[in-house]
């Protein structure tokens, strides 16, 4: 046997034993025999490095060379999942999907492993690239680190191209053990797994017992449309046969019982039932959760049939055929003290619950949205009731239900008939009430506040409080007044020192450089949020003149043919842009120098993940020296960096030996971000 053949045979044999040991848990040779084979191969590779196979089993021990983590484009859609928090919400989702399925449908329920998401690309059966999820379009190349994970096959047992999605995780007990090596800097197993994937040296990663569960396979360019692979169960069974670990805790639900029998052979631990049984299964798994060796943060419910998946398709954020059921919607109980009426810039009435402050998910909650009168009626909510409050993700807290009715005041709250700010009679349109008065002082204030807000024109110094003050004093009545008002005349008024006035002036000037897309959405016309504005611009309406021209000609069909617009939106467009008052305002703003035409040259290179956030940086960093480099990364992605902690600060980037700033964040709702977590956020 020549050397080349010897190396190739030894490699294959070792990969086979790695698979038996790490994936199957059924070793066939002793550790000593294995080590002996391994050393033999290592020896040969040292002598004849040119003969080593690309995905040699010796790659498992990693390298001391630094990884570069270059960015690469994903070849499959790597979207996140839509989320549900209640079994009722999930039931509604299932009903909706069944209604739209147009045929027999079945569902698969998998555990949602709390780890780091990974996509493994195999070319002709060899592990080619492993990418992190990244922003869903580009991921970071972590192939060298992934190769060290024994459970990841370096060579699969068919010479095919396939992309496999999975979750890299570390068990709870290994987390306790290995976090000590990092001086306990990782707050949970997920952070440690994600941090390990981004470790600069793969030789260090090889020492951390990372695991993988694969959960999707893509056997053709972007789609799994192989005729034998027309359902998820077949796909994961195929993925398993290629050598991957599949989580055995799996549920399969169908109203056609003849499905179950062959499945049980392939997945002996499979739980099966009718579609109505899904909610019971979820209850059982929620209870089992504590006993699992690894962390899960929910369950994933997927449509089984690939043709139905293809028919349902994707939104821009998530597939329509899958949903995550999340366990952790923090819930608290408190008393409803009052319901206040909020009027939006377009007149919409939103009742807001004023609550006895309660601690929830790490912050104090004292307000929660109640949406509209219908929602209040549904909850049968009244002042003085004890209610349950939930906070899901980062969204506004919501009142979930009445836990105990008030005995003193058992009635249900009703909205007043009149706008509390202008006394106009409220009108009802759909589920909501509206103040129809365009000159309503509150509506006008709201549209000014909206215009200057962080997500819109981002005029620092013109926050809600300042704008209310300027409006109430009669200094500013319209958007153009924001640009023409002499802020110098405020000198001497309470709270207006020279520095503050100078700051407002500077930021007003800066805001004139904002692109057309920002200006248009900041004007706050109903229906024209940042998403619709970008669709409008993409479809060729890259200047206000083009828009106003179409509106003047009353060409509804031109607007309604824009993706996602439709009839109602088209009519709104005509209404907005042929209204003489609006035209006058736009002409005035044009003269002031705002952008009313899109310039395409400055496409952002980075996803604007920090948009609207205000960061403060403290301490020293391994990857960012000087610290201004970190500030640059934040600003490139749409965030703002400030020198000192204030009520507006949203994040503190905290390096080693932080100063007094960390102390100052106490009692403020500021997220503390350590360097490693920050590195992950930059992916
Ligand atoms: Zn009003």
Look at residue 431 in the predicted model and tell me its pLDDT: 79
- Is the pLDDT assigned to residue 242 strictly greater than 70? yes
Ligand 1: centre distance to CA 423 (Å): 6
CA of 425 to the centre of ligand 1 (A): 8
Taking the centre of ligand 1 as the mean of its atom positions, its distance from the CA of residue 532, in whole angstroms, is 27
**How many whole angstroms from 348 Cα to the centroid of ligand 1?**
9
Q: How far apart are CA 622 and CA 634, in angstroms?
A: 16
Q: Active-site residues: which are they?
A: 112
Average pLDDT, stretch 201-205?
86
Q: How many CA atoms lie within 13 A of 385 on its CB side?
A: 22
* Local confidence band at 272 (pLDDT 50, 70, 90 cut-offs): confident
Predicted confidence at residue 657, as pLDDT, reads 84
pLDDT digits (tens, 9 = 90+) for 52-63: 888 888 888 877
pLDDT by residue (tens digit) across 77-110?
Answer: 888 788 887 888 899 999 999 988 877 899 999 9
Q: Return the percentage of the chain with pLDDT > 90, whole number.
A: 43
Mean pLDDT, rounded, of the chain: 87
pLDDT band at 204 (very low <50, low <70, confident <90, very high): confident
Whether 377 and 412 have beta carbons less than 8 Å apart is answered as yes
d(CA 571, CA 555): 9
Q: Round the CA-based radius of gyration of the chain to a whole number and report it.
A: 29
SS3 for 426-481, per residue?
CEEECCEEECCCCCCHHHHHHHHHHHHCCCCCCCCCCCHHHHHHHHHCCCCCCHHH
Whole-number Å distance, alpha carbon 59 to ligand 1 midpoint, is 69
- Which residues partner with 432 through β-bridges? 429
The answer to whether the CB of 226 falls within 8 A of the CB of 219 is yes
What letter does residue 22 receive in the DSSP assignment?
A: I
In terms of average pLDDT, the best of 66-80, 240-254, 662-676 is 240-254
Please give the backbone phi and psi of residue 243, each rounded to the nearest 5 degrees, phi first: 120, 15
Listed in order, the ranges of the chain carrying CATH 2.40.50.140 are 331-433
pLDDT at site 217: 92
Residue 391 CB partners (closer than 8 Å, separation 6+): 329, 330, 360, 361, 363, 365, 397, 398
What is the three-class DSSP state of 637? Answer: coil
> What DSSP state is assigned to residue 201?
B
Give, to the nearest 10 degrees, the angle between helix 580-592 and helix 566-578.
70
How confident is the model over 369-392, as a mean pLDDT?
85
Is 392's pLDDT higher than 70?
no
pLDDT digits (tens, 9 = 90+) for 426-453: 999 887 899 999 999 999 999 999 999 9
Which pLDDT value is given to residue 101?
A: 83
pLDDT of 135 higher than 80? no
Residue keyed to tokens 């980062």: 394
| Residues 149-174 pLDDT 10s | 999 999 998 889 999 999 999 999 99
H helical segments located in 80-171: 87-101, 143-147
Here the tokens at position 375 are 């929602």
Spatial distance between the Cα atoms of 565 and 610, rounded to a whole number of angstroms: 28
pLDDT (0 to 100) of residue 55? 82
Residue 414 has pLDDT above 50, yes or no: yes
Instruction: Report whether pLDDT(462) > 50.
Output: yes
Structure confidence at residue 444 (pLDDT): 96
Contacts of 319 (CB under 8 A, 6+ apart): 77, 79, 81, 82, 309, 312, 313
- Contact present, 370 and 376 (Cβ < 8 Å): yes
pLDDT higher for 2 or 667? Answer: 2
Phi, psi for 12 (deg, rounded to 5): -60, -45
SS3 content of the chain, % helix, strand, coil (to 5): 40, 20, 40
Buried b (16+ CB within 10 A) or exposed e, 626-658: ebeebbebbeebbbbbeeebeeebbbbbbbeeb
Question: How many angstroms is it from 167 CA to the middle of ligand 1?
Answer: 52
What is the mean predicted confidence (pLDDT) over 282-289?
85
Q: Assess whether pLDDT exceeds 80 at residue 183.
A: no
Structure confidence at residue 223 (pLDDT): 45
Residue intervals of the chain classified under CATH 1.10.287.610 are 3-61
Pairing of the two strands 640-642 and 614-618: parallel
- Please name the CATH architecture into which domain 516-602 falls: Orthogonal Bundle (1.10)
pLDDT above 90: residue 669: no
In order, the DSSP letters of 68-83 are ---EEE-SS-----EE
Residue 198 has pLDDT above 50, yes or no: yes
Q: Residue 219: name the closest of 157, 304, 161, 152 by CA.
A: 161
**In contact, 351 and 415? CB cutoff 8 Å:** yes
3-state secondary structure 247-272: CCCEEEEECCHHHHHHHHHHCCCCEE
Distance separating alpha carbons of residues 134 and 78, to the nearest angstrom: 9
CATH of domain 441-511: 1.10.150.20
Question: Which part of the chain is CATH 1.10.150.20?
Answer: 441-511, 516-602
User: How far, in Å, is the centroid of ligand 1 from the Cα of 357?
Assistant: 29
Q: How large is the average pLDDT for residues 593-605?
A: 74
User: What is the CATH number that goes with domain 331-433?
Assistant: 2.40.50.140
| pLDDT score, position 293 | 93
pLDDT at position 362 is: 62
Share of the chain above pLDDT 70, in %: 95
Q: What angle do CA 416, 422, 424 make, to 5 degrees?
A: 60
Residue limits of CATH 3.40.50.10190 in the chain = 614-681
Q: Which residue has the higher pLDDT, 339 or 22?
A: 339
Round to whole Å and give the CA distance between 61 and 41: 13
pLDDT over threshold 50, residue 224: no
CATH number corresponding to 3-61: 1.10.287.610
The token pair that represents 281 in the structure block: 């299964």
- Counting every residue, how long is the chain? 683
pLDDT band at 222 (very low <50, low <70, confident <90, very high): very low
Of the pLDDT bands very low, low, confident and very high (cuts 50, 70, 90), residue 488 is very high
Three-state secondary-structure class, residue 329: coil
Contact between 387 and 381 (Cβ < 8 Å): yes
Q: In CATH, what is the architecture of 82-326?
A: 2-Layer Sandwich (3.30)
Confidence bin at 225 (pLDDT 50/70/90):
very low
Cβ distance 289 to 296 under 8 Å?
yes
CA distance 180 to 643: 33
Task: Report the topology of domain 614-681.
Answer: Rossmann fold (3.40.50)
Please report, in angstroms and rounded to a whole number, the separation of the first and last CA atoms in the chain. Answer: 47
**Distances from the Cα of 345 to the Cαs of 213, 353, 396, 438, in angstroms?**
48, 20, 19, 9
pLDDT category at 211 given cuts 50, 70, 90 is: very high
Give the pLDDT mean for 397-410.
Answer: 81
Whether the pTM exceeds 0.85: the reply is: no
């Amino acid at each position: 046997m020549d050397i080349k053949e010897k190396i190739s045979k030894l490699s294959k044999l070792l990969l086979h034993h790695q698979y038996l040991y790490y994936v199957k848990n059924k070793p066939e040779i002793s550790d000593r025999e294995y080590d002996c084979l391994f050393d033999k191969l290592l020896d040969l590779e040292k002598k004849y490095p040119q003969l080593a196979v690309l995905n040699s089993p010796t790659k498992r021990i990693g390298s001391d060379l630094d990884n570069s983590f270059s960015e690469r484009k994903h070849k499959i859609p790597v979207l996140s999942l839509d989320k549900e928090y209640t079994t009722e919400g999930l039931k509604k989702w299932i009903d909706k999907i069944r209604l739209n399925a147009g045929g027999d449908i079945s569902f698969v329920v998998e555990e949602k492993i709390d780890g780091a998401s990974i996509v493994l690309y195999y070319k002709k059966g060899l592990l080619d690239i492993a990418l992190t999820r990244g922003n869903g379009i580009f991921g970071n190349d972590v192939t060298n680190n992934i190769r060290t994970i024994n459970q990841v096959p370096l060579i699969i047992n068919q010479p095919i191209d396939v992309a496999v999605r999975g979750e890299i995780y570390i068990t709870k007990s290994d987390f306790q053990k290995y976090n000590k090596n990092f001086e306990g800097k990782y707050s949970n197993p997920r952070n440690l797994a994600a941090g390990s994937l981004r470790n600069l040296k793969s030789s260090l990663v090889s020492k951390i017992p990372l695991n993988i569960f694969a959960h999707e396979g893509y056997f053709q360019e972007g789609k799994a449309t192989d005729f034998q692979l027309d359902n998820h169960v077949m796909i994961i069974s195929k993925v398993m046969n290629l050598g991957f670990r599949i989580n055995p805790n799996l549920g399969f639900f169908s109203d056609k019982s003849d499905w179950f029998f062959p499945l049980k052979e392939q997945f002996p631990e499979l739980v099966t039932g009718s579609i109505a049984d899904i909610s019971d299964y979820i209850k059982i798994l929620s209870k089992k959760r504590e006993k699992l060796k690894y962390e899960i943060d929910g369950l994933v419910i997927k449509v089984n049939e690939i043709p139905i998946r293809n028919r349902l398709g994707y939104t821009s954020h998530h597939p329509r055929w899958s949903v995550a059921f999340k366990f952790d919607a923090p819930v608290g109980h408190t008393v409803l003290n009052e319901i206040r009426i909020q009027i939006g810039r377009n007149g919409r009435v939103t009742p807001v619950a004023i609550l006895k402050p309660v601690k929830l998910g790490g912050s104090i909650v004292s307000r929660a949205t109640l949406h509209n009168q219908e929602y209040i009626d549904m909850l049968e909510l009244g002042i003085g009731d004890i209610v349950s409050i939930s906070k899901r993700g980062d969204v506004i807290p919501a009142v979930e239900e009445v836990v105990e009715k008030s005995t003193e005041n058992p009635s249900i709250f009703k909205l007043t008939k009149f706008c509390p700010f202008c006394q106009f009679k409220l009108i009802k349109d759909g589920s909501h009430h509206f103040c129809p008065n365009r000159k309503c002082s509150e509506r006008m204030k709201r549209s000014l506040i909206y215009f200057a807000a962080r997500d819109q024109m981002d005029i620092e110094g013109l926050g809600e409080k300042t704008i209310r003050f300027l409006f109430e004093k009669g200094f500013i009545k319209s958007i153009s007044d924001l640009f023409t008002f002499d802020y110098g005349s405020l000198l001497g008024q309470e709270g207006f020192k020279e520095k503050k006035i100078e700051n407002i002036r500077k930021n007003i000037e800066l805001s004139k450089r904002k692109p057309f897309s920002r200006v248009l959405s900041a004007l706050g016309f109903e229906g024209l949020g940042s998403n619709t504005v970008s669709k409008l611009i993409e479809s060729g309406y890259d200047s206000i003149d083009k828009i106003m021209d179409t509106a003047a000609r009353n060409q509804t069909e031109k607007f309604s043919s824009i993706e996602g617009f439709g009839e109602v939106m088209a009519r709104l467009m005509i209404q907005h842009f042929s209204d003489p008052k609006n035209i006058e305002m736009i002409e005035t703003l044009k003269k002031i120098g705002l952008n009313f035409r899109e310039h395409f040259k400055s496409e952002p290179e980075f996803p604007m993940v920090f948009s609207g956030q205000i960061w403060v940086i403290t301490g020293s960093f391994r990857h960012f020296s000087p610290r201004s480099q970190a500030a640059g990364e934040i600003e490139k992605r749409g965030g703002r960096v400030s020198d000192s902690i204030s009520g507006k600060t949203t994040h503190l980037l905290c390096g080693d030996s932080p100063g007094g700033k960390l102390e100052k964040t106490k009692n403020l709702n500021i997220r503390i971000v350590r360097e490693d977590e920050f590195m992950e956020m930059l992916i």
